[in-house]
Amino acid sequence: EAGVTQSPTHLIKTRGQQATLRCSPISGHTSVYWYQQALGLGLQFLLWYDEGEERNRGNFPPRFSGRQFPNYSSELNVNALELEDSALYLCASSVGLAGDNEQFFGPGTRLTVL
Amino acid sequence: TQLLEQSPQFLSIQEGENLTVYCNSSSVFSSLQWYRQEPGEGPVLLVTVVTGGEVKKLKRLTFQFGDARKDSSLHITAAQPGDTGLYLCAGPYGGATNKLIFGTGTLLAVQP
């Protein structure tokens, strides 16, 4: 069974640009989570989607947004990129609201903002 | 405020040694999870502990959940170079069982 997949693996942008990151969950999982892992800051919760709806949001500005599609895949959009947005962005999936909170992670997208 | 503090932050040991990593909080958690993350990869779930005082074993790894469900420990017996990685504890918070807060992490290096 395929795990969580993310694309692209690496992304290089300049300050002020927009970045779009993609995630495909494990088959049968309806919940998708986004985390930011920046150097020195650890893993920070960004967003949680389930059944196409945003269920919870971390302490990040509105320029971080996303959506979940009918096939449960998800996009994370970061507008007006800033240098401090450089980080590893991790996507995770779980069985959803009816299940436990065991989350399975993808390999991440390394975003570099120049 | 970091709700989950891990110690030590860094650990470099020789193959065959034993070690313990701690995950502490002033908050009560309904469950705690332990992950291992290797360079360039996402965290991999090792175990979930749910009951206060619970002990779970995964080969050479022993996980314990504190009686008050505020802390957890990970003990590795006879460490191997393959155990090298970043160990993270995590727990649900904010009333949302699916929203995880992660610990500060322990970076373990096992030298052959």
B5 CB burial (10 A radius; 0-12, 13-18, 19+): middle
| Chain B residues whose beta carbon lies within 8 Å of the beta carbon of residue A9 | none
Q: Tell me: the pLDDT tens digits for B36-90?
A: 999 888 999 999 999 999 999 999 999 999 999 999 999 999 999 999 999 999 9
> Is residue A8 reached through a cis peptide bond, with omega within 30 degrees of 0 on the bond before it?
yes
pLDDT at site A85 = 97
Max Cα distance, chain B (Å): 44
Nearest CB to A31 within list B40, B42, B98: B98
CA–CA distance, B5 with A79 (Å, rounded to integer): 32
Given phi > 0 = left and psi -120 to 50 = alpha, else beta, which region is B93?
beta
pLDDT at site A95 = 87
Q: Is the pLDDT of residue A98 over 60?
A: no
Better pLDDT: A55 or A14: A14
Say if the Cβ atoms of A31 and B94 lie within 8 Å. no
Say if the Cβ atoms of B96 and A103 lie within 8 Å. no
pLDDT at site B94 = 67
Nearest CB to A43 within list B44, B98, B102: B102
CB B80 within 8 A of CB B110: yes
In 3-state terms, what secondary structure has residue A105? strand
Q: Is the pLDDT of residue A66 over 80?
A: yes
CA–CA distance, A72 with A93 (Å, rounded to integer): 10
Q: Tell me: the pLDDT tens digits for A23-34?
A: 999 999 999 999
Nearest chain B Cα distance for residue A93, angstroms = 10
Nearest chain A Cα distance for residue B40, angstroms = 7
pLDDT band at B97, cuts 50/70/90? Answer: low
Sole residue written with tokens 């570099």: A112
pLDDT band at A99, cuts 50/70/90? Answer: low
Contacts of A108 (CB under 8 A, 6+ apart): A6, A37, A88, A89, A90, A91, B40, B41, B42
CB B87 within 8 A of CB B36: yes
Say if the Cβ atoms of B100 and A103 lie within 8 Å. yes
Q: What is the mean pLDDT of chain B?
A: 92
Say if the Cβ atoms of B92 and A90 lie within 8 Å. no
Q: Is the pLDDT of residue B8 over 70?
A: yes
| Chain B residues whose beta carbon lies within 8 Å of the beta carbon of residue A31 | 98
| Chain B residues whose beta carbon lies within 8 Å of the beta carbon of residue A97 | 98
A106 CB burial (10 A radius; 0-12, 13-18, 19+): buried
